[in-house]
Amino acid sequence: MTIASVSPLSPDKDWWRGAVIYQIYPRSFQDTNGDGIGDLKGITERLSHVASLGADAIWISPFFTSPMKDFGYDVADYQDVDPIFGGLADFDLLIAEAHRLGIRVMIDLVLSHTSDKHPWFVESRSSRSNPKADWYVWADSKPDGTPPTNWLSIFGGSAWQWDPTRLQYFMHNFLTSQPDLNLHNPEVQDALLSVGRFWLERGVDGFRLDTINFYFHDKELRDNPSLAPERRNAQTAPAVNPYNYQEHLYDKNRPENLDFLKRFRALMEEFPAIAAVGEVGDSQRGLEIAGEYTSGGDKMHMCYAFEFLAPDPLTPAFIAETQHALEKAAPEGWVCWAFSNHDVVRHVSRWGLGVTDHDAHAKLLASLLLSLRGSVCIYQGEELALPEAELAYEDLQDPYGIQFWPDFKGRDGCRTPMVWDRAVSAGGFSSGKPWLPVPEAHLGRTVAAQEADSDSVLHHYRRFLAFRRQHPALAKGEIAFETAEGAVLAFVRSYGNERLFCAFNMSPVPRAVDRPAEPVEILDGHGYDSRIEGDKIELPAWSGFFARYA
């Protein structure tokens, strides 16, 4: 059954520009059958929560058939649902309910690689002459038997794995069980476009494209150059990973990708009001690549890089520098900002060291994120200000954390189950034992507890999303920075006839900023009590100020 034809959503092709997208990690959202793992029925049951926030869309992390070595990012069948999450009928019901509530559905497509259990790879590795022999990246060893290039895996070690059947190496940017597809082969491109068409016909409204800059490799198999120590950072991989020691010119970021992205965009244009956001993982050229991929109106609608997902401190100067760099790299492109997701330490912990007023800090970060130029991704539990979970080594599930423990603890700390109600088993997530522990610190921050407190972080998210909807300049407008010094950030958002002055105190003590030279009308409805005193705007600790030019 396909349901694309029954969607009550308006056919607004520009819905994504300034949209707020709520990311759902299905293993950890809601379990309905007691096996301790979230499922599609659980997402459907909890969509009313997403609707109450005022989000425009959901992004669902992978739920396809998978051996779960990387928890769904190792796909064994692109066109079916893994039984732990349910079946295709459950997905159809999810789509129907989301559309009934006015929520669009974006799904996470992993096109750079598959699981080694995928039938394509099983056939490809069986010989050098089978019909799919060239569907993955295979290469002979160097004369001494070592890997073809110096390319490294993000998960540690070489990006090449020896296969004793073909007597060749295959490439894997991630786990050895995640072989990279060869998108230089037109048949592979066609197969992946068919995957996109399958889900578009099933009713999805768009895609989040995982590791979008990893689709192509250098056909000449040239070695990556080393990277000077002062240029290394830990945006794409943790600091303990030697992956950061290379400039990744040849194992990803290849120019051939632009033509494939045009083909993918052409497919989406066959359907009404579809959008895609690409994940650009590169520590040196992330914004530049995002600009390339969103330029011209014929590739991606939007991309996000890792600037605000990195461990770097969030300061007014850093925010302004990042926005200016984006404008330079992508003058006609569009970005989708996120502070947290399923791969990084939750931002209230990442940026909250030493913060005593946890809730005020979380509210300020939410207001700031929702005021920047671009679309926005909110990660489940962010609206509750859930901190990063501290897990024991024996509770880890993530192979990344197990590999680099204890210097890097992996991604499990941001993937623990959503907490709905302390009075119910596992915080309302499951009647069984959850696949990851539910931290005690999270049980005091459940949805039920915050529903009962009008001053909670949850209610702040709702207020501010409603405020954003009332002022199109916040969603779609241009941005011009007025102040980015010390702890104070101020900018103007402009769209049509609306111009908004926005100021933020990113510190635990009161601050002041010069009032605009032009007359302004102070706005309310956002939850802050900042005021104008003479020629200054007085900003309490962790607060914002919003005014409209008269």
Closest CA to 298 of 331, 264, 329, 336: 264
Ranges assigned E (strand) in 35-112: 57-60, 64-65, 77-81, 104-109
Closest CA to 54 of 465, 402, 525, 412: 465
- The reply to whether 82 belongs to the active site is no
84, with CB counted inside 10 A (0-12, 13-18, 19+), is: buried
Q: Which residue has the tokens 């103007």?
A: 492
327: its two tokens: 């404008």
Q: Which residue has the tokens 């029954």?
A: 6
Q: At what angle do helices 257-268 and 186-202 cross, to 10 degrees?
A: 30
Q: Which of 90, 108, 210, 538 is catalytic?
A: 210
Closest CA to 370 of 308, 293, 282, 283: 308
- The reply to whether 163 belongs to the active site is no
Closest CA to 539 of 466, 472, 486: 486
Closest CA to 370 of 300, 471, 514: 471
- Distance between the two ends of the chain, CA-based, in angstroms? 53
Q: In angstroms, rounded to a whole number, what is the distance separating the alpha carbons of residues 494 and 500?
A: 6
Q: Which of 12, 187, 259, 270 is catalytic?
A: 270
Give me the count of residues in the chain: 550
The DSSP element (H or E) to which 364 belongs, if any, is: helix 358-369
Q: In what order do the strands lie in the sheet with 511-514?
A: 511-514, 536-539, 531-533
Q: Which runs of consecutive H residues, i.e. helices, occur in 203-300?
A: 257-268, 286-294
DSSP state of 495: E
Please give the positions annotated as active site: 210, 270
